[in-house]
Structure 1
């Protein structure tokens, strides 16, 4: 029992270091990542439906290749249209190609593999310097942030810009942090997600209602289990459902 308690305490410290340590500068994106800007919340916070953001109306299938091995993700735009739409749009733009996985936490318990920082394309940027990058929309020259979007079980619409705790929601989300879940990383600001995402290496129910899951690994979880810090995404491709993306 004492060993189990020590392991969970270590896990708590690990989570805290991810959330707090990465946010020593003003926020943006990470289970946590931080950003050098001072306002992660933008007009999306006032317009939580994100009318100016890509949306995925339905589902799509994305294949990431890491060291030549495929990881297949079913992206769920039915229950997370903005979050899923943002991810599929970034895949189609080639944003993730060549980016590095900069955070891998497997001890004391399996936790997450995190990547997607656009700065990770640059081989000169070390992994320990990543976690602060976001997607800059070339059309606006501004960082694209998306609102926190989590749909409660039996809910008709997702909750935007609030965690379940803050909104007083006791029901679980439709998209849970089970092993193989793919979710958006963010800072302490709820509307600070941009490009960084993570794979859940185990069932992480304590993250439910706080971070936005938008899909699940359907094939290649054994590849995810082998990812190490500094491994790169060779390519990311939408192989099905791309027509469901509405810009």
Structure 2
């Protein structure tokens, strides 16, 4: 629903950890207030739905705080197999084309908070 409504359009990947993942989906990244990046969402939480699907390269999962039921709109794409995340995060998709883009984003220089120094913007998000 969020993707269909254009919620993600113009948001940034605000967290990158080389050899691990890229994270995005925070509407606060449409503002210049970097202090609020990583804390935004749609105004509601999504209940966790853990499965046996393994966090292999290209898997898309819901990002969350410590509470398993605290996911909202933020998500992450694992750029390397990360099976230690299995059954702890809600897997909801897989990148089938364009992992080369994720590979470029995860290699961007970043600050001490893992925020890329160069913008990595989602211009338009579609789900099929």
TM-score (norm 2): 0.86
Q: Is the 8 A contact 2:28 2:36 kept in 1?
A: no
Please tell me the root mean square deviation across aligned C-alpha atoms, in Å: 1.2
**In the alignment, is residue 196 of structure 1 matched against residue 74 of structure 2?**
yes
| Alpha-carbon distance between aligned partners in 2 of 1:232 and 1:192, rounded to the nearest angstrom | 24
How far residue 120 of structure 1 moved from its aligned partner, in angstroms, is 1.1
Alpha carbons 2:28, 2:40 under 8 Å: kept: yes
* Runs of at least 4 residues off by over 3 Å: none
Alpha-carbon distance between aligned partners in 2 of 1:94 and 1:119, rounded to the nearest angstrom: 14
Q: Aligned partners of 2:33 and 2:5: how far apart in 1?
A: 21
User: For the residues of structure 2 that align with 1:90 and 1:120, how far apart are their CA atoms?
Assistant: 16
Distance in 2 between residues matched to 1:176 and 1:187, nearest whole Å: 20
Q: 1:187 aligns with which of 52, 65, 68?
A: 65
- Aligned-residue offset at 1:97: 0.3
Does residue 123 of structure 2 align to residue 234 of structure 1? yes
Unmatched 5+ stretches in structure 1: 1-88, 136-142, 152-172, 241-247
Inter-partner Cα distance in structure 2 for 1:225 and 1:98: 20
Contact 1:183 1:199 survives alignment (8 Å):
yes
Q: Is structure 2 residue 14 aligned with structure 1 residue 102?
A: yes
* Structure 2 match to 1:130: 37
| Structure with more helix by fraction | 1
Aligned length: 117
Shift of 1:237: 1.9
Alpha-carbon shift at residue 129 of structure 1 (Å): 3.6
Partner SS for 1:225: helix
TM-score computed with the length of structure 1 as normaliser: 0.46
Counterpart secondary structure, 2:124: strand
Determine which structure has more spread, i.e. the larger CA radius of gyration: 1
- Correspondence 1:119 to 2:8: no
* Post-superposition CA distance 1:52-96 (Å, at most 9, x none): xxxxxxxxxxxxxxxxxxxxxxxxxxxxxxxxxxxxx11011110
Instruction: Return the alpha-carbon distance in structure 2 between the equivalents of residues 213 and 203 of structure 1.
Output: 13
Cα pair 1:116 1:195 within 8 Å, conserved: yes
Deviation at 1:216, TM superposition (A): 0.6
